[in-house]
């Protein structure tokens, strides 16, 4: 890196919302260390990839990406690998990609300033590999938020659940929560800065335990929702084990809490759930769904499913299909099981063939699409409030998002387009399996 010149960096993010938000904080840290962000690898002194390892495909993407950019090496650039693949592979990354100088998992980001100093001193093979040691969370003075209206706050980091298929407990460290006072302080600052939507994040957001012992998760949710200027509060991802009736009561009591719960079930079969070490049964999960359905507000539900987990029989898969029909989810994120390093399930034969997994996934997605085609029609004629997202699609419609997190594309008779981040009532005139169409009132 040339001295005297502003140091530049390029950062690309893969994976979940927690990675997206970590990147906003990493960018904040780099900017405070005197770096300037650039939008291409060519223009950067330091190239960073914030990686995901949830399925094999995600991991391969990163190594392909590193290979593609290797040709930029001769111009004296430095490379860093951050995130879940970094923590999982550790120093092995230096063997696979010797031109990488920095490898750090998310549980070590608080040490990034020191690591950057070492990098600038010309050192190679710098690591931040925490391996489930720390109780600290990553809090930055400056967060480079990418959206001026909607912002994230990570309230719980890491995971202690150890589901049989999942890398997260190994890649993100042990579960640790921020104090509710610090979360509320950040939420108030965001509201003052004009953020009207706040999304609380955690791999198990509702397993939140206030280190100060002041608030439960539901109380924290309600407190964020009561901050002046906050119009929408979302939270993701909830774990069924930690899902309480109190959360439903909070949604009923505080109108700014969005009427949407993402509650991953993974399988509709208690047999498979036991193999997955999810520690709940189909009936136990359905009891929680019953609480949500009994709420005074209509709360939209979405879920994640894994098909083809080792040992999943035809009957188990049928149980998942009936589960989807019984709950009536508004969206399902379904994935084929992918064997992952270090996880308990890796020792079980990946017994369901690729073709069978694909076939099951196809059947599930088709059934779900048919169901959503019908269920989205319940909104026809309703007037829903949208937050304007900004883009206009090919049909000249403006994109908005409802409190239930549904896309509602709308037209307006007003000559002036509504600004991104504004809120409008829109009457629904058409329904599709994944979106609604309407007219602004
Ligand atoms: N903490 C959340 C989920 C986090 S990972 C929870 O417990 O529900 C996001 C989703 O990726 C999971 O819900 C699961 O459906 C999927 N997933 C995780 N590991 C996977 C694997 N090995 N193969 C396929 N899908 C996986
Ligand atoms: Fe992974 Fe299970 Fe933790 Fe979710 S709860 S992040 S699926 S180990
Ligand atoms: Fe991927 Fe890590 Fe998130 S594995 S899904 S980036 S927690």
184-202 tens-digit pLDDT: 999 999 999 999 999 999 9
Residue 263 counted as domain residue = no
Q: Does 217 lie in the same domain as 109?
A: no
Number of domains in the chain: 4
Report the alpha-carbon distance of residue 235 to residue 261 in Å, rounded: 8
- Residue 301 CB-density burial (10 A; 0-12 exposed, 13-18 middle, 19+ buried): buried
Strands 100-104 and 126-128: parallel
Q: Does 357 lie in the same domain as 321?
A: yes
- The strand pairing partners of 83, in sequence order, are 51
Q: Does 179 lie in the same domain as 117?
A: no
Report the alpha-carbon distance of residue 300 to residue 329 in Å, rounded: 7
Asked if 264 contacts 304 with a C-beta cutoff of 8 angstroms, the reply is yes
Query: DSSP 3-state assignment of 150?
Result: strand
Return the best residue to mutate from 59, 158, 160, 335 for the ligand 1 pocket (most ligand atoms within 8 A of CB).
Answer: 335
CATH number of the domain where residue 219 is located: 3.30.750.210
Ligand 3 contacts CB of residue 54 (under 6 A): yes
> Using 50, 70 and 90 to split pLDDT, how confident is the model at 4?
low
Asked if 226 contacts 198 with a C-beta cutoff of 8 angstroms, the reply is no
Domain boundary among 258, 293, 328: 258
End-to-end C-alpha distance for the chain, whole angstroms = 55
Residue 139 counted as domain residue = no
Q: Does 76 lie in the same domain as 24?
A: yes
Q: Does 18 lie in the same domain as 117?
A: yes
Q: Does 84 lie in the same domain as 51?
A: yes
> Using 50, 70 and 90 to split pLDDT, how confident is the model at 3?
low
Q: Does 203 lie in the same domain as 152?
A: yes
- The strand pairing partners of 50, in sequence order, are 13, 82
Percentage of the chain with pLDDT > 70? 99
pLDDT digits (tens, 9 = 90+) for 320-378: 999 999 999 999 999 999 999 999 999 999 889 999 999 999 999 999 999 999 999 99
> Using 50, 70 and 90 to split pLDDT, how confident is the model at 5?
low
Asked if 436 contacts 406 with a C-beta cutoff of 8 angstroms, the reply is yes
Report the alpha-carbon distance of residue 433 to residue 360 in Å, rounded: 20
Return the best residue to mutate from 17, 162, 166 for the ligand 1 pocket (most ligand atoms within 8 A of CB).
Answer: 166
Peptide bond into 237 cis (omega under 30): yes
pLDDT of residue 263: 98
pLDDT of residue 1: 46
Nearest to 137 by CA among 199, 210, 194: 210
Ligand 2 contacts CB of residue 241 (under 6 A): no
Tell me how far the alpha carbon of residue 293 is from its chain's centroid: 24
CA of 171, closest atom in ligand 3:
2
Q: Does 347 lie in the same domain as 418?
A: no
List the domain range (segments joined by +) for residue 217.
147-258
Ligand 2 contacts CB of residue 83 (under 6 A): no
Domain boundary among 377, 392, 411: 377
Residue 404 counted as domain residue = yes
């Amino acid at each position: 890196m040339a001295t005297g010149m502003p140091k530049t960096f390029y950062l690309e993010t893969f994976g979940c919302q927690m990675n997206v938000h970590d990147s906003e904080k990493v960018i904040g840290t780099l900017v405070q260390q005197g770096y300037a962000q650039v939008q291409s690898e060519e223009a950067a002194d330091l190239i960073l990839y914030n990686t995901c390892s949830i399925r094999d495909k995600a991991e391969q993407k990163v190594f392909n990406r590193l290979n593609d950019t290797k040709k930029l090496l001769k111009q004296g650039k430095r490379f860093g690998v951050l995130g879940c693949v970094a923590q999982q592979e550790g120093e092995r990354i230096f063997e696979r990609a010797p031109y990488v100088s920095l490898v750090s998992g998310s549980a070590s980001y608080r040490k990034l300033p020191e690591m950057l100093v070492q990098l600038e001193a010309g050192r190679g093979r710098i690591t931040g590999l925490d391996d489930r040691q720390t109780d600290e969370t990553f809090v930055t003075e400056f967060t480079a938020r990418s959206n001026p209206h909607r912002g994230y706050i990570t309230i719980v980091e890491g995971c202690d659940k150890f589901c049989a298929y999942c890398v997260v407990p190994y890649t993100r460290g042990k579960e640790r929560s921020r104090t509710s006072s610090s979360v509320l302080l950040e939420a108030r600052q965001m509201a003052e800065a004009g953020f009207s939507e706040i999304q609380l994040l955690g791999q198990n957001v509702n397993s939140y335990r206030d280190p100060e012992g002041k608030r439960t998760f539901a109380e924290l949710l309600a407190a964020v929702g009561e901050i002046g200027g906050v119009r929408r509060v979302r939270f993701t991802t909830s774990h069924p084990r930690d899902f309480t009736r109190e959360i439903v009561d909070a949604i009923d009591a505080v109108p700014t809490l969005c009427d949407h719960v993402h509650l991953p079930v993974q399988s509709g079969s208690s047999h498979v759930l036991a193999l997955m070490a999810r520690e709940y049964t189909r009936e136990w999960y359905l009891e929680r769904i019953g609480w949500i359905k009994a709420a005074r507000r209509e709360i939209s539900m979405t879920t994640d499913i894994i098909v083809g987990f080792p040992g999943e029989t035809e009957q188990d898969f049928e149980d998942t299909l009936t589960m989807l029909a019984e709950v009536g989810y508004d969206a399902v994120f379904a994935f084929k099981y992918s064997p992952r390093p270090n996880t308990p399930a890796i020792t079980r034969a990946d017994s369901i063939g690729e073709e069978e997994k694909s076939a099951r996934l196809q059947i599930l997605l088709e059934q779900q699409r048919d169901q959503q085609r019908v269920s989205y029609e319940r909104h026809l004629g309703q007037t829903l409030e949208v937050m304007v997202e900004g883009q206009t699609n090919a049909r000249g419609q403006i994109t908005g998002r409802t409190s239930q997190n549904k896309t509602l594309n709308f037209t307006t008779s007003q000559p002036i387009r509504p600004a991104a981040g504004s809120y409008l009532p829109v009457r629904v005139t058409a329904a599709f399996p994944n979106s609604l169409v309407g007219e602004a009132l």
